[in-house]
Structure 1
């Protein structure tokens, strides 16, 4: 199991997500993002806007994803 925070994933807070794989971690982060969207958390909405802009450039999004995945894989197990 490895842990990354919302901020490490491009978000706005220090909430931690722990998972076996990066893909599982992304799903936990998405669920957190949806909750923050429902609560209209301003800082998270701004972070989501940055990711949405990145998603408009598939090559840049892929670089971001692979970089974050490598960061996850380089972490020590909890």
Structure 2
């Protein structure tokens, strides 16, 4: 998966999130793709910039990436 594919997925998760759950979906993105992001040397800031979202969301993606080391997605149907 390329950086641009990750960016598209982030934008999709953000756009399709229920009202009030947009930030949660950004964290969830980081959790789901965290290991991949880390293993491939991608930077959350670069992914967020490529997605077209506000660059401030890079901190939220980074939180999800950090959480990915400790948590697993409970209900993948909610993605």
Superposed pair shares fold, TM > 0.5:
no
* Shorter-chain TM-score range: 0.3 to 0.5
Q: What TM-score results when the alignment is normalised by the length of structure 1? A: 0.34
Q: What TM-score results when the alignment is normalised by the length of structure 2? A: 0.34
Max Rg structure:
1
Higher strand share: 1
